[in-house]
Amino acid sequence: MSITRRQFLGTSAALLGSLPFARAIPALAAPADTLVAVTGQTINSLDLHRVGTNRASYQIAVNCYDRLVSFGTKEAPGGGLSYDYSKLEPELAESWTISPDGLTITFKLKPNATFQDGSKVTASDVKWSFDRAVSVGGFPTTQMQAGGLTRPDQFEAIDDLTFAVKLDKPSKLSLPDLAVPVPFVINSKLAKANATEKDPWAMEYLHKNTIGSGAYKVVRWDAGQQVVYQRYDGWVGGPKPAVKTIIMREVPSSATSRALVERGDVQIAFDIPDKDAAELASKVTVYSTPVENCIHCLCMNSNFAPFQDANVRKAVAYAVPYEAIFKTAAYGRGTELSGGSTEITDTAWPRKIPYSTDLAKAKEYMAKSGFAGGFETTLSIATDLASWMEPAALLIQEAVAQIGIKTTIEKIPGAQWRTASLVEKRLPFHLENFGGWLNTPDYYFFWAYQKGHLFNSSNYYNEEVEKLTNETLHMAMDDPEYAPKIKRMFEIVLDDLPRIPLWQPALNVAVNGADGYEFWFHRMLDVRTLKPAGA
């Protein structure tokens, strides 16, 4: 009797358990006016200017707000579309003029531009937004400074539709800096209505609400789960987007994202690892666009004795197994940077370095150095970036061991990595990555090769490079003096080698059932150009 009762319980449990599956719902296709994208990052604010907003949240500023200008489109290397740094296009401003001395840029706003609540966009809204960007501190203010925009008195609303920016000195970076996600235009009337004495910039309100004039608005934000964008039909910043609703879902596991995009339940898997990109390429469309002005590097800190010796640095440069690293750490996604010629004929950056794996040469240089007997050091990597840093570090460890450099790999987690490598700059031998938003070599040099600047984790200092970088940073790229100076800068750093470029990484996006993906320097998903497949 007890057996039959147990059997009864067992079978009824099995029956109940199979009920949900009995409704055998096949992979539900999203309704025709909805696209679903998945990403591994989490969005922690709808306001880019807020303290603590992480990078992944910048996509809100990109999709829901307008800037004065935007970049055009070109074909991306490797297929698909990309933004075009050389073409500035109107977004909120229909035209602009630059004064003869290059110090004042005057913008004429589009007269039919409206915010998502229906009110008109005026120059005073632009001024309020720009004042906010330079006053809140942190990353937004730093980024504004790159274009020479530092103080509220530089911005003037001349009349309702005319806005002027006054620069302290003319710079080729100023206009492009207005197209980066940071200087977005906020509905200042609505913001001020929700501001308080303690919160004059309405940080709390913009944290949870998008109040711009952009193509989409956030109608739903479930923190840690998803953001739902809905199209704003009154958008004038560009061509009307094809999709009404776009859902951005957060899926931490890359294996799950991969299964979802392969089955077509989601149309876009954004920023997937190189391994998944390489393996999915045969099944769905995968765009692997090399990220402009971004290089994965092996850095040698000049505060540590062995790396002060130029011969040691050259030896390491010849020992690094570039091809093996590109195959194993990057799965062939991106651009390899070794084996270039020593002759520098153009100002393209990143560029192929004139080094390739040559163990004999490496041993020669070690013998010539003051450390012919080898030495011991620590090779540091960040745990958060272990997907590319770990395989690269292991291959480097193995390679330099052959020239007498004994390394132990040190993994540094999360918050400590930035402190150790960038703020304190105390890591002797480490992997680094920096990508500049503004696509000029001098911009890269400013951040990575100038003394004391954040991404110069090698504590590199070269007087000539300092001088040349300062001169070229704001110089126009078609100035006849520009190219020779840049080439000289390349010569010096590729000889001094404080950072050895390993490869240029790619941003991988798998698409199954959608079109119109465009690569952007900010490495966020710009949803405004997306459309369903075949449309």
Partner 1 sequence: MRIAQAVPVLIGVVVISFVLTRALPGDPAVQFAGFAATPQSIEETRVKLGLDKPLPEQFFLYVGQLLQGDLGQSLSTGQPVTTELASRLPASLELTLTALILSCAIAIPLGVLAATRPGSWVDQLCRVLVTAGVSLPTFFTGIVLIYVFYYLLGIAPSPLGRLDFIYLDPPRVTGFFLIDTLLAGDPETWFGALKQLILPATTLALFTLAPIARMTRAAMLSALSADYIRTARAAGLGSAKVLYGYAFRNALLPVVTTLGMVFSFVLGANVLVEKVFAWPGIGSFAVEALVVSDYAAVQGFVLCMAVLFVVLNLIIDLAYSVIDPRFGTDAK
* Site stretch for partner 1 (CB under 8 A), options 35-43, 293-301, 395-403, 513-521: 35-43
Secondary structure E strands in 11-168: 34-39, 69-75, 81-90, 93-98, 104-109, 155-159, 162-166
Q: HSE (CB half, 13 Å, CA atoms) of 16?
A: 6
Nearer to partner 1 by C-beta: 280 or 405? 280
311: tokens are 């011969």
Count of residues of this chain found to bind partner 1 when the rule CB under 8 A is applied:
66
Pick from 72, 79, 111, 138: which binds partner 1 (CB under 8 A)?
Answer: 138
Only one of the segments 5-13, 188-196, 363-371, 502-510 lies at the binding site for partner 1 (rule: CB under 8 A); that segment is: 5-13
The token pair at 466 is 């300092």
Angle at 370 between CA 369 and CA 374, to 5 degrees: 85
Strand partners, 500: 298
Query: Could you tell me which stretch among 53-61, 310-318, 476-484, 500-508 binds partner 1 (CB under 8 A)?
Result: 53-61
Q: Which of 153, 239, 255, 360 binds partner 1 (CB under 8 A)?
A: 255
State which of residues 240, 263, 283, 406 lies at the interface with partner 1 (CB under 8 A): 263
Sign of the C-alpha dihedral, residues 157, 202, 235, 140? positive
For 13, phi then psi, to 5°, come to: -65, -40
Least distance between partner 1 and beta carbon 168 (Å): 19
Q: Is 10 in the site for partner 1 (CB under 8 A)?
A: yes
Among 142, 303, 341, 342, which residue sits at the site for partner 1 (rule: CB under 8 A)? 142
Which helix (H) or strand (E) is 421 found in, with range?
none
Contact flag: residue 6 with partner 1 (CB under 8 A):
yes
Stretch 432-491 residues interacting with partner 1 (CB under 8 A): 447, 454
What are the tokens at 431?
């992997």
Q: Which of residues 12-31 bind partner 1 (CB under 8 A)?
A: 13, 17, 20-21, 23-28, 30
Shorter beta-carbon distance to partner 1: residue 280 or 312: 280
> What gap in Å lies between CA 386 and CA 402, rounded to an integer?
24
Among 164, 165, 251, 295, binds partner 1 (CB under 8 A): 251
Give 87 or 151: the residue with its C-beta nearer to partner 1: 151
Q: Name the helix (H) or strand (E) containing 280.
A: helix 274-280
- 415 near partner 1, judged by CB under 8 A: yes
- List 112, 119, 196, 419, residue binding partner 1 (CB under 8 A): 419
Largest CA distance in the chain: 100
Backbone phi and psi for residue 228, each to the nearest 5 degrees, phi listed first: -115, 120
> Is 42 in contact with 225 (CB distance < 8 Å)?
no
Residue 27 CB, nearest approach to partner 1 (Å): 6
> Quick check: 198 binds partner 1 (CB under 8 A)?
no
> Which of residues 111, 252, 339, 484 is near partner 1 by CB under 8 A?
252
Length of the chain: 535
Q: How far is the CB of 123 from partner 1 (least distance, A)?
A: 28
Q: Which stretch binds partner 1 (CB under 8 A): 65-73, 163-171, 222-230, 456-464?
A: 222-230
Closest by CA position to 91, among listed 213, 182, 198, 245: 213
Between residues 124 and 245, which has the closer beta carbon with respect to partner 1?
245
For residue 141, state whether it binds partner 1 (rule: CB under 8 A).
yes
CA dist., res. 205 & res. 190, Å (int)? 10
Are 491 and 333 a contacting pair, CB within 8 Å?
Answer: no
**Nearer of residues 144 and 164 to partner 1, judged by Cβ:** 144
User: Measured from the CB of residue 343, what is the shortest distance to partner 1 in angstroms?
Assistant: 33
4 binds partner 1 (CB under 8 A): no
- Residue 479 tokens, joined: 């100035």
Residue 56: closest CA among 384, 525, 528, 506: 525
Give the range of 49-57, 99-107, 355-363, 471-479 binding partner 1 by CB under 8 A.
49-57
Q: Which of 72, 386, 416, 491 binds partner 1 (CB under 8 A)?
A: 416
Which residue of 101, 153, 253, 534 would you call a contact of partner 1, by CB under 8 A?
A: 253
* Residue 51 interacting with partner 1 (CB under 8 A): yes
Would you say 39 or 188 has its CB closer to partner 1? 39
Enumerate residues 381-410 that contact partner 1 by CB under 8 A. Answer: 384
Task: Rule CB under 8 A: say whether 423 interacts with partner 1.
Answer: yes
The answer to the question of residue 534 lying near partner 1 (CB under 8 A) is no
- For the purposes of burial, counting CB atoms within 10 Å of the CB of 20, is it exposed (0-12), middle (13-18) or buried (19 or more)? exposed
Smallest CA-to-CA distance from 71 within 81, 79, 80 is with 81
Q: Taking the CB of residue 341, how many other CB atoms lie within 10 A of it?
A: 10
Please state the three-class secondary structure of 130-156 as a single string: HHHHHHCCHHHHHHHHHCCCCCHHHEE
> Which distant-in-sequence residues (6+ apart) come within 8 Å of 221 by Cβ?
43, 46, 208, 227, 228
By CB under 8 A, residue 360 contacts partner 1: no
Q: Does 314 bind partner 1 (CB under 8 A)?
A: no
What Cα–Cα distance (Å) separates residue 530 from each residue in 28, 152, 241, 518? 20, 36, 7, 8
Binding site for partner 1 (CB under 8 A): 1-2, 6, 9-10, 13, 17, 20-21, 23-28, 30, 36, 38, 42, 44-45, 50-55, 57, 137-143, 207, 222-226, 228, 247, 249-253, 255-256, 259-260, 262-263, 265-266, 384, 413-416, 418-419, 423, 447, 454
